[in-house]
Amino acid sequence: MGVFDEGLEAGVHFYGDPEDLDPNLIDPLLRKAVARINLSSWVWTAESCQGHPDNDIGPVWAGNTSPMLRLVCRREQVGRMLGALHEASTGFEDEDGLRRYFSLRVHPQTLREWAEVLVYIEAQTVRDRNLGIAVFEKFAELVAPGV
């Protein structure tokens, strides 16, 4: 039984198998991070959104600036995953060399032997959204080094 089937059996809602995800289904700014996370072999993405601050139509995401990942791992790995999120979001230098600290909005859930964590990076501007994407890319490097 693969990750997808194990997760589904535990109650994780995957939109598709994270190990066989079509890159065209991922928002362009998150493709690199999502692909790398899903290659980690211990944490996977179940959902993602880059934020769509330029969208002026649509009831749900119109004007949303905050990028989001719904991350899934086995329950015994959740501390390691949250540690990587912490490391990626603190002490980050932006393109001007300024040290940045990002606020994360985290919604954890336990599903039997699995953990699901919905993570938003609080962003008020497009620039902050783009830096938030960089935080998720740093997270991907931490969970899947050498990939």
Domain of residue 139: give its range. Answer: 3-143
How many domains does the chain contain in total?
1
pLDDT in tens, 30-83: 999 999 999 999 999 999 999 876 655 555 555 678 899 999 999 999 999 999
Q: Which residues contact 75 (CB under 8 A, 6 or more apart)?
A: 110, 112, 113, 114, 115
Q: How is residue 94 written in tokens?
A: 């932006």
> Does the predicted model carry a pTM greater than 0.85?
yes
How far is the CA of 84 from the CAs of 78, 81, 96, 137, 145, in angstroms? 10, 5, 24, 11, 12
